[in-house]
């Protein structure tokens, strides 16, 4: 059970139990039908009202708390967080718990309520209840004594229901399992077979190949095509006009003496004259330029507006291919440049490039299959010889023949815990991470190649690092507290869902909408 709980340890209900209820509770799928019956209700819970005025006060308080935690928190961020719905959802939960307490005949009498108010530190001065503080609190929160006392009564009754949830039991076996999951580490050895290294072996990819790939159910072609388009949209399919250029530059600092500045300019003038006299631009850049681009002939690459130094852009976009600028100054120094190419803007919609992308992805799929086959053959050899290292030595670590393009280098990961998808330095590899924890010292080799973002790997368990009994004893108290909270959260989550499943809940869409026009329109119904 704790394994499932731990996977949900960042869920809103868990955070709620751990003390973040007001800011982290999320909706459980309440039917949001809109009330219509009252413009003053934020929601109705089994016929009982949550007043919009009470909701507005609580929302303002939570919003202010978020702003104290994050100075940049604004309405846009609140809308993205769905904060209105989350605050109202917490109030609905509170109402449901209050109703459940009353159904179980739990009561908080007037004397207990009075003692609770009198003992509240926010209303005390020098340890004694101060009526002025109490009245100011009510005024600041736009409340009345009756409404505040009712709210406090509901809160106290709901707290009575939460007491059994907190008294959950965590067994010794669960503690040890969780401790090992948190502290045990493994290290793996692996050989990578990157799909890209096999693309040259694929050969020609035809439209028929692409069609077959798209029609194969397991390929998930449409999903992959859309993801590819989204990934490369700004760099390949929706690109503004670009200019390609080279430059020669001499650096000039702000505090450079006038005579040194003059010499620098004379150097650049000499370079410009040489180019005009016939010296190749690339040669002039290598001879005269102070910039790091000198080693590649002053090549600045291709750029759109807003992608490089503003003065360079201004000069470059004035020119046509083959034309040179005069000498100009930027924040980095003095330059002159030559435009080598102008690329018109590219505006391609997904439908325009769907077939093109399908051909690319088909090629990648075929290359991936070749990489998988190669990895499988290598893994079979490793099983015969007993390890990846022996197989690599037998086949040659730097083998680069046409048939076997991938260097067979055995790499070793850093130690990593169970439940992590990231394996340094291999990267994000969930399939590898899960399979690695199933390996043992008796059977250290993975039974088959495992997929990564770049291709396939053959994997072997290198080492398992287990914590000591002394470490477990030292960690036991903190671990017991943490797991108790997580387990209580799981119980509370199920309980809350059960209460909501049988409840009649209606939400006023005007209360939770971030669109002012929508809120006004719904309130007028």
Both tokens of 31, joined, read: 């039917």
Quick one: angle between helices 83-103 and 469-501, nearest 10? 80
Mean pLDDT throughout 332-360? 95
Kindly report the pTM of this predicted structure: 0.52
> Tokens 């009252």 sit at which residue?
38
Indicate if the pLDDT at residue 358 is higher than 80. yes
Question: Quick check: helix, strand or coil at residue 418?
Answer: coil
* Cβ atoms within 10 Å of 512's Cβ, excluding its own: 22
Mean pLDDT throughout 157-161? 62
Say what the pLDDT of residue 71 is. 86
| Cβ neighbourhood burial of 514 (10 Å; 0-12, 13-18, 19+) | middle
Say what the pLDDT of residue 148 is. 81
- Considering 58-67, 115-124, 491-500, the range whose residues carry the highest mean pLDDT is 58-67
Each residue's pLDDT tens digit, 22-63: 333 333 333 333 444 444 789 999 999 998 888 988 899 899
Helix (H) or strand (E) holding 460: strand 455-465
Question: Quick check: helix, strand or coil at residue 514?
Answer: coil
């Amino acid at each position: 059970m704790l394994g499932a709980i731990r996977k949900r340890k960042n869920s809103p209900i868990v955070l709620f139990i751990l003390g973040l209820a007001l800011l982290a509770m999320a909706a459980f799928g309440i039917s949001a039908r809109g009330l219509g019956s009252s413009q003053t209700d934020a929601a109705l819970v089994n016929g009982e009202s949550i007043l919009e005025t009470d909701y507005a006060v609580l929302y303002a308080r939570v919003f202010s708390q978020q702003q104290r935690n994050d100075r940049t928190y604004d309405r846009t961020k609140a809308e993205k967080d769905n904060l209105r719905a989350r605050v109202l959802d917490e109030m609905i939960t509170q109402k449901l718990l209050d109703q459940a307490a009353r159904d179980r005949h739990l009561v908080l009498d007037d004397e207990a309520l009075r003692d609770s108010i009198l003992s509240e530190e926010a209303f005390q001065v020098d340890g004694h209840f101060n009526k002025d503080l109490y009245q100011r609190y009510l005024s600041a929160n736009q409340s009345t004594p009756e409404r505040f006392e009712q709210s406090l009564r509901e809160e106290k009754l709901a707290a009575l229901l939460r007491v059994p949830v907190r008294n959950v039991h965590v067994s010794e076996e669960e503690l040890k399992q969780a401790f090992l999951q948190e502290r045990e580490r493994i290290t793996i050895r692996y050989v990578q077979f990157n799909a890209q290294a096999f693309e040259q072996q694929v050969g020609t990819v035809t439209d028929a190949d692409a069609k077959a790939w798209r029609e194969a159910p397991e390929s998930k072609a449409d999903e992959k095509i859309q993801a590819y388009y989204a990934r490369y949209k700004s760099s390949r399919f929706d690109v503004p006009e670009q200019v390609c250029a080279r430059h020669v530059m001499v650096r000039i600092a702000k505090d450079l003496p006038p005579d040194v500045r003059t010499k620098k300019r004379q150097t650049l003038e000499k370079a410009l004259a040489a180019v005009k006299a016939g010296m190749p631009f690339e040669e002039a850049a290598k001879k005269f330029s102070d910039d790091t681009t000198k080693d590649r002939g002053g090549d600045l690459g291709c750029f759109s507006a807003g992608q490089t130094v503003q003065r360079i852009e201004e000069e470059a976009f004035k020119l046509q291919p083959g034309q040179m600028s005069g000498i100009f100054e930027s924040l980095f120094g003095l330059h002159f440049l030559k435009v080598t190419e102008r690329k018109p803007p590219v505006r391609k919609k997904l439908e325009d490039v769907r077939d093109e992308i399908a051909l690319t992805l088909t090629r990648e799929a075929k290359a991936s299959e070749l990489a998988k086959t190669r990895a499988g053959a290598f893994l079979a050899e490793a099983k015969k010889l007993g390890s990846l290292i022996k197989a690599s030595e037998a086949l040659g670590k730097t083998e680069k023949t046409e048939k076997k393009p991938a260097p067979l280098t055995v790499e070793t990961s850093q130690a990593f815990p169970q439940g992590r998808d990231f394996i340094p330095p291999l990267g994000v590899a969930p399939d590898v991470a899960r399979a690695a924890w199933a390996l043992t010292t008796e059977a250290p080799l993975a039974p088959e190649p495992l997929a990564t973002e770049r291709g396939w790997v053959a994997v072997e368990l290198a080492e398992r690092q287990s914590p000591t009994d002394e470490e477990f004893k030292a960690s036991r108290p903190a671990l017991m507290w943490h797991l108790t909270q997580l387990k209580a959260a799981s119980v509370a989550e199920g309980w809350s869902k059960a209460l909501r499943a049988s409840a009649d809940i209606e939400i006023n869409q005007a209360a939770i909408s971030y669109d002012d026009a929508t809120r006004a329109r719904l309130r007028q119904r």
